[in-house]
Amino acid sequence: MTSDGAIINVSENFKTREEIVTDAIRAAILRGQFRPGDKLDQQELADRLGVSRSPVREALRTLVAEDLAIHYPHRGTVVRERTMDELQELLFVRMLLEGAAAKRAAPHMDDLRLRQLEAIIEEAEQSTDFERILTLNNTFHITVYSAFEQPQMISLIQSLRNKIAPYNRLYLEVKERKEIAWRDHRRIYEACCLRDGELVEREVREHLEQVFQGITIAIAAAQSNIESLSKRGG
């Protein structure tokens, strides 16, 4: 677990305590405060969030159901790790769903949404705040797909994006990949301006293929660094 201080201030309206705690832990996983394989200790989380263990316990059950965490009987709950085969399958399903969602949405693009998409790209290209860039990345995609009323599709897509998010961070941490990603986003935007569903679908799929290749390279590099450090210490 990274040492970024307290996770949240538990003071949201219109949500149960369990929902607020779930949102907080989920956000911490997506932000990389808890990394794949990290233990999600109930007492530690309760202390950091200023709540009892009961809502934390329920939150962890929800995150296990969302496949963001996994529970082991004698080890406790840990952040879900993915094999390369699992990541490949998740990204393949993402390509199918996000491509289809983009194709359906493209004919319904209005000028306001196009301005929003352009503003997102411009902010991301100028930003040096990594967390903000990650947020803008997700916002861009959901803004595209939301041009058409398809809440079930978008919910499935967001679930898949959450499962891959810890690994997507590795991909975007490299400056060159960030620049490539936002060039891809600009091509998606330009296709949206044409309201060309098939072109938007193709651009989205090609972008996600680049993402998978980048994630594969990033994971291999991270594993190589770990092995190198292990040999030095051995």
What 202-207 contacts at long range (C-beta under 8 Å, 24+ apart), as own/partner pairs, is 202/99, 203/102, 204/95, 204/98, 204/99, 204/102, 204/144, 205/95, 205/98, 205/99, 207/181
Q: What is the pLDDT of residues 28-72, one digit of tens each?
A: 999 989 999 999 999 999 999 999 999 999 999 999 999 999 999
Residue 227 has pLDDT above 60, yes or no: no
CATH topology of domain 84-229: Four Helix Bundle (Hemerythrin (Met), subunit A) (1.20.120)
pLDDT tens digit sequence for 145-185: 999 999 999 999 999 999 999 888 877 877 677 888 899 99
Q: So what's the pLDDT on residue 230? A: 45
CA distance 48 to 28: 12
**pLDDT at 169 (0 to 100):** 85
Res. 137: pLDDT tops 90: yes
Residue 192: Cβ within 10 Å count: 24
**Cα–Cα distance, 180 to 143 (Å, whole number):** 20
Query: What is the structure's pLDDT at 13?
Result: 60
Give residue-wise pLDDT tens across range 66-83.
999 999 998 899 999 998
The topology (CATH level 3) of 17-79 is Arc Repressor Mutant, subunit A (1.10.10)
22-26: average pLDDT: 96
Q: Could you tell me the residue ranges of all domains in the chain? A: 17-79, 84-229
Query: Do the Cβ atoms of 205 and 161 come closer than 8 Å?
Result: no
Residue 7 has pLDDT above 70, yes or no: no
Query: Would you state the torsion angle of the CA atoms of residues 170, 175, 178, 180, taken in this order, to the nearest 10 degrees?
Result: -120
Mean pLDDT for the chain?
Answer: 89
Burial zone of 36 (CB within 10 Å; 0-12 exposed, 13-18 middle, 19+ buried): middle
- Domain 17-79 matches domain 84-229 at the CATH topology level: no
